[in-house]
Amino acid sequence: MNITINGNDHTIEQIKTIEDMLTQLGLGEKLVIVEQNRQIIDRVAYGQTVVRDNDTFEIVHFVGGG
pTM value? 0.89
CB proximity list for 20: less than 8 A, separation 6 or greater: 14, 51
For the chain, how many structural domains are there in total? 1
The domain that holds 27 is classified in CATH as 3.10.20.30
Average pLDDT, the chain: 94
Q: 38: pLDDT confidence band, cut at 50, 70 and 90?
A: very high
Task: Report the SS3 class of residue 26.
Answer: coil
Distance (Å, rounded) from C-alpha 66 to C-alpha 55?
A: 35
pLDDT, mean of residues 2-18: 94
DSSP 54: T
- Whether residue 66 lies inside any domain: the answer is no
Q: pLDDT tens digits, residue range 11-32? A: 988 899 999 999 999 998 889 9
Please report the pLDDT score of residue 66 as a whole number: 64
Q: Which residue segment(s) compose the domain that 28 sits in?
A: 2-61
Is residue 25 in some structural domain? yes
